[in-house]
């Protein structure tokens, strides 16, 4: 749990060091990662496009820009902030606060993240089609 808390803090620290891409996506390329192949091939942003940009805006307190970059990311970023003390408290207790094991909350977090990403992507696709 301590390692997970450190990992989340590192993600937020890296997001703070990155300059958010004004397009609302592509910030991850500053880490040496390639542009999204899905977007390059289809011309449509993938469900995670804008996630890094969303985190970069969130850590700067620009919540509206975080939301515009990726709605799921703008909800996931504060979740990461909340998870850090929860994980550290669980590490101090020797078990997760409010749960018997980490499995249930971790599975719930993964399912919620995927569902939010897909919902956000669906809305982005529908709005994009209406605007065309």
pLDDT of residue 129: 55
**Cα–Cα distance, 3 to 96 (Å, whole number):** 14
Q: How many domains does the chain have?
A: 1
DSSP 8-state secondary structure symbol assigned to residue 27: G
Residue 123: predicted pLDDT: 87
* Cα gap 129→27, rounded to integer Å: 25
Local confidence pLDDT in tens for the 132 residues of the chain:
999 999 999 999 999 999 999 999 999 999 999 999 998 888 888 889 999 999 999 999 999 999 999 999 999 999 999 999 999 999 999 999 999 998 999 999 999 999 999 998 898 888 875 443
Q: Which residues contact 65 (CB under 8 A, 6 or more apart)?
A: 20, 24, 57
This prediction has a pTM of 0.87
2 close to 88: Cβ distance less than 8 angstroms = yes
Q: Report CA Rg, the chain.
A: 16
Structural domain including 67 reads: 2-131
Task: Report the Cα 4 to chain-centroid distance in Å.
Answer: 15
Instruction: Give the pLDDT score at 131.
Output: 41
Residue 64 sits at φ, ψ, to 5 deg, of -65, -40
Residue 132's pLDDT is 35
């Amino acid at each position: 749990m301590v390692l997970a808390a450190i990992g989340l803090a590192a993600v937020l620290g890296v997001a703070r060091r990155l300059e958010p891409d004004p397009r609302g996506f592509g910030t991850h390329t500053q880490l040496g990662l390639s542009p999204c192949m899905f977007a390059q091939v289809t011309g449509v942003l993938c469900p995670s496009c804008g996630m890094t940009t969303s985190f970069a805006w969130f850590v700067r307190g620009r919540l509206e820009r975080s939301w515009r970059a990726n709605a799921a990311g703008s909800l996931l970023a504060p979740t990461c902030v909340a998870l850090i003390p929860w994980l550290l408290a669980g590490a101090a207790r020797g078990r997760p606060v409010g749960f018997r094991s980490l499995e249930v909350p971790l599975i719930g977090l993964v399912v919620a993240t995927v569902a939010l990403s897909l919902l956000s992507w669906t809305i982005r696709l529908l709005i994009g089609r209406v605007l065309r």
